[in-house]
Amino acid sequence: MTTIVVVQKDDRIAIAADSQTTFGDDHKLLAAYDCYHNKIFQRADSYFAISGSAAHDLVLQSALDGLKKKNFTSRAGLFDTFRKLHPKLKDQFFLRPEEDEEDPYESSQMMVLVANAHGIFGVYPMREVYQFSRFWAIGSGRKFAMGAMQVAYEQDLDARAIAEIGVRAGCEFDVNSSMPMTVYTLDCIKDQKEHESH
C-alpha cells in the first residue's frame, strides 16, 4: 500500500507520497531498486496519486490520455471524468469491477487524490468525489498521516511542510510505506467565483 496526502492552506496546495511498492504480505520494492518510484503523476495542470494495486498507475495514466473530454477542476467535473473512464477501464484494461454483492455500483478498484489550482479532491472506488478544505490522506499509512497533519495544521507551517509531516508519520509507523517522498506544490485560485467569471 502507501501513504499519500494532500494539503491546502493559505492559498497553497501540496500533494506528497512515499515511494515503497509492496507485493503481497512479505515483499517490498524500495525506491533505490525502482526506477519509477514516484507515485505522483501530472496530467494538464493536475497532480494525481493512486492507492491500490500497483497496476492502477499505468492504467489510469493511459486511460486519462485516451479520454478526449476531461475536467479536473471541480467535484462534478471529476465525477463526470471518472464516470466516462469506468467503461474504458473494463473494456480496454480488463478491470474486474466486482467487490461486495451488496454494493450499489460497480467498483473502479482505486482511490485517487487529485491536486490542482481549484483545490484538493479524492475519488473513491464507486466514483464518489470529495473536495477537501484542509487535508486528507489515503493508503495504509493514512491514519498516521491524518493524525500528524491534524496536529501540524494549526501550527505556523505551510502546506508543503504539513504534507511532509503526514508522509513522514506514515513512513515511520506503517510497514507498507517508506522514504524518500515526492512532493509537489502549487498556488490555488484565491477567488473561485471571480476566476469562473472570466
Q: Can you give the pTM of this predicted structure? A: 0.92
Asked whether residue 121 is domain-assigned, the answer is yes
pLDDT tens for residues 164-190? Answer: 999 999 999 999 999 999 999 999 987
Number of folded domains that form the chain? 1
Asked whether residue 197 is domain-assigned, the answer is no
Q: Which domain holds residue 66?
A: 3-187
The C-alpha cell at 3 is 501513504
CATH code of 183's domain: 3.60.20.10
Asked whether residue 18 is domain-assigned, the answer is yes
What is the arithmetic mean of pLDDT over 68-91? Answer: 96
The answer, yes or no, to whether residue 64 has pLDDT greater than 90, is: yes
d(CA 167, CA 137): 9
Asked whether residue 195 is domain-assigned, the answer is no
Using CA atoms, how far residue 132 sits from 30, 75, 114, 119, 194, in Å, is 30, 10, 10, 7, 20
- Supply the pLDDT for residue 1: 81
What is the arithmetic mean of pLDDT over 115-138? Answer: 97
Which three-class secondary structure state does DSSP give residue 138? strand
Asked whether residue 196 is domain-assigned, the answer is no
Q: At what angle do helices 142-153 and 159-173 cross, to 10 degrees?
A: 140
Among the listed residues 23, 33, 133, 22, the one whose alpha carbon sits nearest the alpha carbon of residue 75: 133
- Supply the pLDDT for residue 195: 41
d(CA 43, CA 81): 13
Asked whether residue 198 is domain-assigned, the answer is no
Asked whether residue 8 is domain-assigned, the answer is yes
- Supply the pLDDT for residue 23: 84
Among the listed residues 128, 111, 152, 153, the one whose alpha carbon sits nearest the alpha carbon of residue 17: 111
The C-alpha cell at 82 is 471518472
Confidence class of residue 150 from pLDDT cuts 50, 70 and 90?
A: very high
What is the arithmetic mean of pLDDT over 92-120? Answer: 92
